Amino acid sequence: MFKSALIISLFLVVVIRAADESQSETTKYRSEVKPDGTYSWEFGTSNGIDAQENGLGGVQAVGSVRYTAPDGSPIQLEYTADENGYRPTGAHLPTPPPIPDYILRALAYIEAHPFERIQLKK
């Protein structure tokens, strides 16, 4: 009986949460584009999504978004996009493995021994 009640209550929590998501509303919205090409915007929703960005159209942008993932963990993503590409940061993003020691040693050797072009005599 307890197991059935637990399963039913978990199901109801999921259904109620889904209903809350479907009924969310925009709580704030702002968008501004200036004649010099700079812009900024932000929005928020009643279910806890907040986002903002500012930048120069087609050149660079800086922004962030915050929300709660379906598993309940908080997500905070910040990003920059410019001539160096899109660079997101956030604790939830995967990180690359460390560079192996033999690769680091090889790179150090290459840096310490630059290639010298040999001039051939004609």
End-to-end CA distance of the chain: 96
**Residue 2 pLDDT more than 60?**
no
pLDDT tens for each residue of 40-71: 999 999 999 999 999 999 899 999 999 999 99
Q: What is the pLDDT of residue 87?
A: 94
**Residue 91 pLDDT more than 80?**
yes
Question: Where do the H-state alpha helices sit in 23-122?
Answer: 101-112
Separation of alpha carbons 9 and 16, rounded Å: 10
pLDDT tens for each residue of 12-33: 344 444 445 788 899 999 999 9
Separation of alpha carbons 47 and 44, rounded Å: 8
